[in-house]
Structure 1
Amino acid sequence: MAPDLRLSQTRGHLALTAENGGLTPWCGPAALALAAGRPYGEACDLLRSIAPGWYPAEGPVVTAYWRDLLAVLDRLGVPHVKRDLPEHRPSLLRLVREGLPRGWYLLRVTDHFLLLHSHGFGLATVHDNRHTAAPLSVRTHGRRKVTHIAWLPEGPRLG
């Protein structure tokens, strides 16, 4: 199995924190910044440009919306494919352990956005505003229910 170089070249949560003046960034713009390879502040500005009525004109974007994250990816030309979920909304651990194909995914789980790198065989790593390549576990959002998922066929953009 060839290593996925994107894993080691993707910016992580510490870079996002530095870009946010030392403060932990909010998960929506953080996941967008990681997926699109853009700075955290630019991710906030892109969300504002997509839906100016939904986001504050300045300051942090605290609550982001799935539709707006996907609209920004569309605008930036980042390939993504929305995936259907079972009606029972599995936990993130269950989704991965039941055979989520290898690859990169942008997800919304209960009240949180993240990037997930599925390695196959029930193994995955989490990339978000507090984790960089952390093994998926109960502590890394594993019990949260998956509400939305989009496959990133080219993985995250390097920025």
Structure 2
Amino acid sequence: MSLEIPHDVHRLRRTIRFLSRPYVLLTRILGGVLAFLGVVLIVLDTSSAVGYAAAAGGLAVVFAIGPIMVAVGMRTQAAAIQHGYRLTLDDEWMHVAYPLVESRCRWEGLDRAVETPEAWYVMFGKAQAMVVPKDVMTPQQRAEFEAFVAKRR
């Protein structure tokens, strides 16, 4: 199977959000703990600037860390991958070819394939994924890919 996948900023943003999700969750939990401790300090001493700073900082972490991580991830993408690419799948390899960069991974290295409404994320490790977007596939290609991944589990 071979697919031409045009560059899509929104798809890249969703991919970064998907890959950073476990780290964002942990950071948000820590931010919530910091905010709670700040509130406790405020209750104990309403004149404590540290309590207000901790509560405000914790809330900022809870709500701002996700968008900040996505923005940083978007800015740090190499210019070479900010183009469309060709995705080729065969029985042994998953091959991604950009105009300036190519990458190949053996299916044996596949940890798992995660399906979302927009794409499949073929995971090679915890934070490495190749994206197989559904919007560029025909219904027949989607069914073929689902069967292909199911066979490798």
Higher percent of residues as helix: 2
Return the TM-score normalized by structure 1.
0.23
Return the TM-score normalized by structure 2.
0.24
Q: Which has the higher contact order (CA 8 A, sep 6+)?
A: 1
